[in-house]
């Protein structure tokens, strides 16, 4: 309950800033925050009742909302949600991951409230897993979640970042996994696996998703995505030598948002980037260690909503 009240207060401050400082209409604010116009009016009233709206808006989130607007304008986003950076806390980088997970869960919850019959395509990873774990348990039987990438592991052992399973267990919604490994051994294997009828059925469903929630991976040996043996150290070195700074949908790109020329990218199983272009794509990623990766991913022009942290956003806005 405390978390829910804090989330409502944060939304009220954002609505007030967008209205009184940003000059946005109620319809624009509703689209930005992912709520109804009636909700926007209630939020604005709440901000006034709580004393945040005076001659100016007095709340620590004011500067954060202004920074969000900077990123929206700079990178052509539809929405941006920033959380405090917690890398200097006792929790270290995992503190920022937890904060991003909470923000991602709140974003997804608001979306599902607004679109109760929608299909959501998801990737996997530590941050997306944190978001799924933070999602409040609530029946949503008419929603569907579908994986847009192959499985994290090639073995039958449970996937520690199985976002689909986490989401369906929290909501009771239908879940669809892509029944292939994350990366094929060869390009020939990739073509055979992607051509299977069972795989094409999931791909066709993922192609029609209403929202895609993705992570942005880094390109360092210590990045968590490389732990389960999906990519070797020599492959990472080859990718970095080719200019790779991060990955989106498991495919590696350079600082300008171009996919690097490397066989590994051609062996990854899942949706192609072009499927996401012009669609509603929410990326959850943060931490200064991923600065180059987030910058490159934004340069691709496919991300419409960015959920990140304040320090990373400050670097992105100041460049």
For 197-215, what is each residue's pLDDT tens digit?
A: 999 999 999 999 999 999 9
Q: Are residues 244 and 102 in the same domain?
A: yes
Asked if 277 contacts 302 with a C-beta cutoff of 8 angstroms, the reply is: yes
* Rounded CA separation 317/319 (Å): 6
* Rounded CA separation 110/81 (Å): 13
Q: Are residues 98 and 3 in the same domain?
A: no
Q: Within 13 Å and on the Cβ side, how many CA atoms surround 62?
A: 13
Q: Supply the pTM of this predicted model.
A: 0.81
Confidence of residue 61 (pLDDT cuts 50, 70, 90): low
Q: What is the pLDDT of residue 157?
A: 43
Q: Are residues 214 and 239 in the same domain?
A: yes
Question: Higher model confidence: residue 126 or residue 161?
Answer: 126
Domain end call among 59, 77, 109: 59
pLDDT over threshold 60, residue 154: no
Q: Are residues 157 and 97 in the same domain?
A: yes
Q: What is the pLDDT of residue 1?
A: 64
Q: Are residues 120 and 243 in the same domain?
A: yes
How many separate domains does the chain show?
2
CA dihedral sign of residues 28, 32, 33, 35: positive
Q: Are residues 152 and 227 in the same domain?
A: yes
Asked if 75 contacts 269 with a C-beta cutoff of 8 angstroms, the reply is: no
Q: Are residues 66 and 52 in the same domain?
A: no
**Which residue(s) pair with 81 in the sheet?**
307
Q: Are residues 205 and 145 in the same domain?
A: yes
Q: Are residues 147 and 54 in the same domain?
A: no
59 burial level (CB within 10 Å; 0-12, 13-18, 19+): buried
The mean-pLDDT minimum among 12-26, 157-171, 172-186 falls in: 157-171
Domain extent at residue 13: 1-59
Give tens-digit pLDDT for 77-90: 999 999 988 765 44
């Amino acid at each position: 309950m405390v978390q829910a009240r804090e989330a409502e207060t944060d939304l009220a401050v954002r609505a007030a800033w967008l209205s009184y400082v940003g000059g946005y209409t109620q319809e624009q604010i509703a689209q930005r925050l992912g709520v109804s116009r009636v909700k926007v009016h209630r939020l604005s009233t709440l901000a006034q009742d709580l004393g945040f709206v005076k001659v100016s808006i007095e709340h620590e989130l004011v500067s954060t909302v202004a920074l969000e607007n900077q990123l929206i304008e700079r990178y052509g986003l539809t929405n941006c949600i920033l959380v405090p950076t917690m890398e200097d806390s006792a929790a270290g980088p995992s503190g920022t991951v937890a904060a991003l997970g909470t923000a991602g869960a709140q974003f997804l919850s608001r979306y599902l409230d607004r679109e109760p019959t929608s299909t959501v395509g998801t990737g996997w990873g530590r941050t997306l897993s944190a978001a799924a774990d933070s999602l409040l348990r609530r029946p949503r039987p008419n929603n569907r979640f579908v994986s847009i990438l192959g499985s994290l592991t090639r073995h039958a052992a449970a996937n520690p970042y199985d976002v689909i399973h986490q989401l369906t267990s929290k909501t009771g919604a239908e879940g669809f996994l892509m029944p292939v490994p994350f990366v094929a051994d060869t390009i020939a294997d990739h073509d055979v696996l992607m051509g299977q009828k069972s795989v094409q059925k999931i791909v066709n469903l993922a192609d029609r998703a209403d929202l895609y929630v993705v992570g942005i991976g880094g390109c360092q040996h210590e990045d968590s995505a490389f732990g389960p043996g999906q990519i070797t150290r020599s492959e990472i070195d080859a990718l970095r030598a080719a200019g790779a700074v991060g990955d989106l949908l498991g495919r590696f790109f350079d600082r300008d948002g171009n996919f690097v020329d490397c066989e590994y990218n051609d062996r990854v199983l899942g949706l192609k980037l072009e499927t996401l272009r012009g669609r509603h794509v929410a990326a959850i990623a943060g931490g200064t260690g991923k600065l180059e990766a987030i910058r490159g991913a934004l340069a691709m022009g496919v991300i419409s909503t960015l959920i990140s942290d304040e320090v990373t956003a400050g670097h992105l806005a100041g460049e």
